[in-house]
Structure 1
Amino acid sequence: MDYRPIPEDHDEAVHRLLSYAFQPERGPDPDDEDHERPEEYHRRGLYDVDPDTPTDDPDTPTADDLVVTCGYYDFTARIRDEFHPVGGVSAVASPPESRRRGYVADLLANLHREFREEEIGFAVLWPFEYAFYRRFGYAMTNTSVTTSVPPAELGDVVPDPAGTFRRLDAGDYAELDTVHRAWATEALGLRRTEGWWRYRTFQGWRKDPYVYGWADRTGTLRGYLCYTVDEDGDDKRMDVSELAAVDDEARGHLLRFCRDHDSQVDTVRLRGKAGETRLLQTLSDPRAVDVEVRPGPMARIVDLETVVDALSFPDDATGSVALAVRDDHCDWNDGTFELTVGSDGATCLRSDADADATLDIGALSQLALGSLSVDELERNGDLTVESAAARETLAALFPTEAVYLREGF
């Protein structure tokens, strides 16, 4: 097998493969074009190359040799209040004739090695099946909340008209980005590029969203929302994928924009981070709201030593703990490591010491990101701690944080 970047002249083969993997009802030969992607997107493929087969160029496999494909985004994401490189794994797919042969495992092994060489400490993805990616060390980072409400019910929580709404396009990305940076402050919040705004925010897989912004009386943009209007049986639904505001005033006016669709849609659906239940607390009839909690993306530490070297720990947290880490996929993370945090920084080195705590790489990833606490991981059976002192040290080093990856990819 040959792991390598996918060249442009294999575009058609990749598009056929991805379309059939994620939209099988369209068949293996779609007649549309693939979407344009941001500059931070990179494609990788695994080619089944037979060295005994004659070819004009033995170093260049053909599109027919492609057995599994993926892409990754070289993201910059907030982790522990600082920005770090993160690999966003996407579009992992193989045709039916190539499945259940270990090709995806081989592809991911190569991709994770590439991340390690590039000093990318974390990988994130949206799974088609959670159990599948747990096999490769991934664990869920966060949940999300979807709130559905009849637009007229929002009348109780919106302010009187003020400021102005205006339709925005990709050329306005710099203004949008200023709002986004003030709004997306949770762990795994991305620092978006111009390409991401143009080709991912303003373009959808099936339908491009509408984007409107709210500006105060000085003309300063202070909030925006991205939405589509879709058929929901006999009803129409305003599906808001992002409602970004720098403060409560801007949020109120964006909700006013949604309320003013009451003559056009039957339901407004808002997506938000876990715990976002403010409408339940403020509407006159909270029973008018349906709230659905959904599982979110998954992440894993790619290289433990790289992560610890770059990670910020609480200023008042110091100590040392021996971690027995299980990683069946990346052997460089498998073993016992002495994690030491002091006033001069942190180190994570292999050790022969007896373990103070035992966990797998997925649980350690949740701990490092702040998704779950030491107590939660213990209750879930994903962490074993040998002493109260070790538990106290781990809890001090890895406090929980709000974690929310809102972008799909």
Structure 2
Amino acid sequence: MTDLTLLDRSGSTSTTPLAEAPAFAKPVAPLRSRIAYAAAHVVPVATAENVPGAPAEIDWDATLAFRHHVWSWGLGVADAMDTAQRNMGLDTAATRALITRSAQEAAAVGGDLVVGVNTDHIGDEVLTLPQVIDAYVEQLQFVEDAGAGAVLMASRHVAQAAQSADDYRRIYREVLARAGAPVVLHWLGEAFDPRLAGYFGSTDWRTAAQTVQQIIAESADRVSGIKMSLLDADAEVAVRAGLPATARMFTGDDFHYVSLIAGDGVHHSDALLGAFAALAPHASAAIQALDAADDHEYARILGPTEQLSRQIFAAPTFYYKTGVAFLSWLNGHQRAFSMVGGLHAARSLPHLSEIVRLANDCGALERPELALERWHGMLALNGIEAATRTAVLA
């Protein structure tokens, strides 16, 4: 068995046996018990000028192939979300090209696709409430014209323009009135974006939840659910219990998704998770276990992945995208560990080493030998000698 070299924060190295990849089977029928979307990342052209502030140059073959990878495991794709670096390197032209191309691919293979709708094409301009509404509607119409479902993302412009819960209700009521089909709302906590602090009118989630529930009640036929990403399981459980039967809770809690998806016997969460972009085979196999009414197998498969997700989403949480792209590279879904905006530099080598360790422990290295080769090469590039010996099993 080959040894995998790990690096700690002091610069010391250690080794651990390289684990085999789990023998998960792809589903032969649609998943039934839960709806699960993986919020997919984008792969840049490795030789392009994808530096901070530069327009994104996307490797479309690799980016779209990754979406087919997710669909092949029976999961849906949530595209052009924060995992795809909205507000962190993915400019308007690249975002619209991504939406158009992903919608075409989804239509070609019957893949489930929802797409983020935001106001980020405006830049950092200060907008009035009517201008925020118009900006949302512009993107909503683009997404619907492309043939994709919509996720009405939390917007920095909304957070800046809205001065009260009434302002939030007005914005969402008028935007939802223009929706051609029910949409998923999006509640993103400040851990993911500090500029969204106090979203829905309060820093107290209980007060903000009242506004959310009012928005959904006023436009019940236009809201299919809400993605909640506060990293607070108790808050999600409470809000979930108060939703109307017509609205699903999509967990965006990358710290507690195992119990939230499993549910409490009365309610459960579906999933719209950046973590599932790194864990598509595990997510699929776990939901297949739920389909077979095997709760124990579900927990056995998905439970160990939560430690890995917590490391990927460790503070500062908004740099989690680096870990998703890193695992994509280790698993052979892209040729280089690079990101638009140079964001691959956002995490340290010891942080990445802990991702390697936890991915190895839970079986998230889909091609272990390739992952080892690439990780050891990365260590060597940084002047760190990796293990070269191979232990032979008796």
Give the TM-score range, shorter chain.
Answer: under 0.3
| TM-score, length of structure 2 as denominator length | 0.28
Higher share in strand = 1
Which structure carries more relative contact order (alpha carbon 8 Å, separation 6+)? 2
Higher helix share: 2
TM-score normalised by L of structure 1: 0.27
